[in-house]
């Protein structure tokens, strides 16, 4: 195996591992639309990884790896934005609960 081919195989396995990690995160979060996107992405990653391992489509696999990196970043960015929104909502609810609790507490015993 040449150095280029082994690098390509390593990168495709790396992105395949990232896609598995994304699947675990998305299944845990129960977001169905992103789950379906990730399943399709995982299937494509495995197909291209096998193609690279069998010395097929080297140029196409490089292009696919760039695209898969962009998809990975897009999905992770989308998930992180959702997590930030959820954290802000929780923080607002906590503030509201503390404010309500202070109003119910009698002042000056």
| Residue 39: predicted pLDDT | 67
Q: Within the chain, which residues score under 50 in pLDDT?
A: 109
Residue 36's pLDDT is what?
A: 66
Number of domains in the chain: 1
Report the C-alpha gap between 31 and 24 in whole angstroms: 11
49 domain-assigned: yes
The set of residues, in sequence order, having a beta carbon less than 8 Å from that of 13 and lying 6+ positions away, is 49
The reply to whether 109 falls in a domain is no
Q: Which two tokens stand for residue 49?
A: 């990884």
Q: Please indicate, yes or no, if residue 25 is contained in any of the structural domains.
A: yes
Tens digit of pLDDT for each residue in 38-55?
A: 666 766 666 666 666 666
């Amino acid at each position: 195996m040449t150095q280029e081919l082994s690098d390509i195989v390593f990168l495709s396995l790396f992105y395949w591992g990232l896609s598995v990690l994304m699947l675990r995160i998305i299944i845990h979060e129960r977001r169905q639309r992103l789950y379906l996107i990730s399943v399709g992405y995982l299937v494509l990653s495995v197909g291209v990884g096998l193609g690279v391992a069998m010395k097929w489509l080297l140029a196409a696999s490089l292009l696919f790896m760039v695209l898969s990196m962009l998809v990975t970043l897009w999905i992770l960015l989308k998930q992180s934005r959702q997590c930030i929104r959820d954290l802000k909502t929780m923080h607002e609810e906590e503030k509201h609960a503390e404010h309500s609790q202070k109003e119910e507490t009698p002042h000056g015993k």
